[in-house]
């Protein structure tokens, strides 16, 4: 037993030398390493805050902005700018459309006013033409003379008072039942004068009165027939004729004679 213990003791230094030798070889082959600076002491786990499971993870805003403007997002930004430009263009176009619409509305109002003015002007022109187309003649300057004993020649000036010429087709002078017709075909220009008349045979009493200063008076009715711009027309007249050899001749329009002339000649038409 003693011999065994001695053998064990003799064998332990040899193993120590064998273990040292490889360590030295490793030491010689391994280059020296730089020793890092000592790290700050880590607080014990009991002192570190424990993150809550519901607490949001903090976000680095600078990194998010860098990611937003990074080259991979440039195409998106281009689309954004294009969209903004389209919106601006649409707003400008809408403003132009509104301006044009307001201008068109003003033009429509102006056109309506002009149309109203033109319509009123046309109506006034039509009324003027209608008034001008209503032609008439005026009988002025009545006079008489004896062509022969008992034969009284009555004359009067016929005047075209309108601005259009007319064609005189005939005259009618009637005293009592005696009627004197005159067929004519004479053009009377505006404001021109044409003499018309008749010859009436006086009775003995009328002839005596005519030669006296008192003169003689008799009723006269008749009509003037002419063709104007509005077609055939008959213009009746009626009244009292007072005439004398020395005192001249006067014609007084009397309503009852005028009405009688209208009733008798008003429906006649020129031949």
- Tell me the pLDDT band of 5, cut-offs 50, 70 and 90: very low
**pLDDT of 78:** 83
Residue 19 has pLDDT above 50, yes or no: no
pTM: 0.50
Query: What stretch of H or E contains 62?
Result: helix 61-68
Question: Considering the chain, what percentage of its residues have pLDDT values greater than 70?
Answer: 71
Residue 46 has pLDDT above 60, yes or no: no
DSSP state of 237: E
**pLDDT of 140:** 94
Query: What stretch of H or E contains 173?
Result: strand 166-175
**pLDDT of 1:** 47
Residue 189 has pLDDT above 70, yes or no: yes
Token digits for 193? 């004068």
Mean pLDDT of the chain: 78
Residue 21 has pLDDT above 80, yes or no: no
268 versus 111: which is more confidently predicted? 111
- Tell me the pLDDT band of 61, cut-offs 50, 70 and 90: low
- Tell me the pLDDT band of 261, cut-offs 50, 70 and 90: confident
User: Could you give all domains of the chain from N- to C-terminal order, each with its CATH number?
Assistant: 137-265 (2.60.40)
Q: Of 220, 213, 219, which Cα lies nearest the Cα of 246?
A: 213
Residue 166 has pLDDT above 90, yes or no: yes
**pLDDT of 259:** 81
Token digits for 46? 């009991």
- Tell me the pLDDT band of 141, cut-offs 50, 70 and 90: very high
Residue 172 has pLDDT above 50, yes or no: yes
**pLDDT of 36:** 56
Query: What is the tens place of the pLDDT at every residue in 196-247?
Result: 999 999 999 999 999 998 899 999 999 999 998 888 999 999 999 999 998 8
- What torsion, rounded to 10 degrees, do the Cα atoms 196, 200, 205, 209 define? 20
Instruction: Give the mean pLDDT of 54-73.
Output: 66
Outline where DSSP puts E strands in the chain. 137-148, 151-160, 166-175, 178-188, 193-201, 216-228, 231-244, 248-253
Query: What is the tens place of the pLDDT at every residue in 76-109?
Result: 878 888 889 899 999 999 889 988 888 898 888 8
């Amino acid at each position: 037993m003693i011999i065994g213990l001695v053998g064990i003791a003799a064998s332990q230094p040899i193993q120590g030398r064998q273990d040292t030798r490889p360590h030295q070889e490793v030491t010689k082959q391994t280059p020296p390493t730089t020793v890092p600076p000592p790290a700050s002491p880590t607080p014990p786990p009991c002192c570190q805050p424990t993150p809550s499971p519901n607490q949001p993870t903090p976000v680095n805003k600078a990194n998010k902005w860098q990611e937003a403007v990074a080259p991979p997002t440039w195409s998106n930004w281009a689309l954004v700018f294009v969209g903004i430009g389209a919106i601006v263009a649409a707003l400008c176009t809408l403003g132009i459309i509104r301006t044009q619409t307001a201008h068109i509305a003003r033009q429509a109002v102006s056109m309506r006013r002009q149309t109203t003015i033109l319509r009123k002007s046309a109506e006034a022109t039509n009324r003027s033409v209608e008034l001008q187309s209503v032609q008439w003649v005026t009988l002025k300057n009545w006079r008489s003379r004896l062509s022969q004993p008992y034969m009284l020649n009555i004359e009067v000036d016929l005047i075209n008072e309108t601005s259009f010429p007319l064609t005189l087709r005939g005259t009618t002078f009637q005293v009592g039942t005696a009627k004197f017709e005159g067929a004519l075909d004479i053009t009377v220009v505006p404001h021109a004068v044409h003499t018309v008349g008749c010859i009436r045979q006086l009775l003995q009493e009328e002839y005596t009165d005519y030669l006296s200063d008192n003169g003689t008076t008799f009723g006269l009715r008749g009509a003037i027939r002419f063709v104007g711009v509005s077609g055939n027309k008959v213009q009746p007249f009626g009244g009292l004729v007072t005439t004398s050899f020395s005192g001249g001749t006067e014609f007084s329009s009397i309503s009852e004679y005028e009405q009688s002339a209208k009733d008798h000649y008003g429906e006649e038409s020129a031949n």
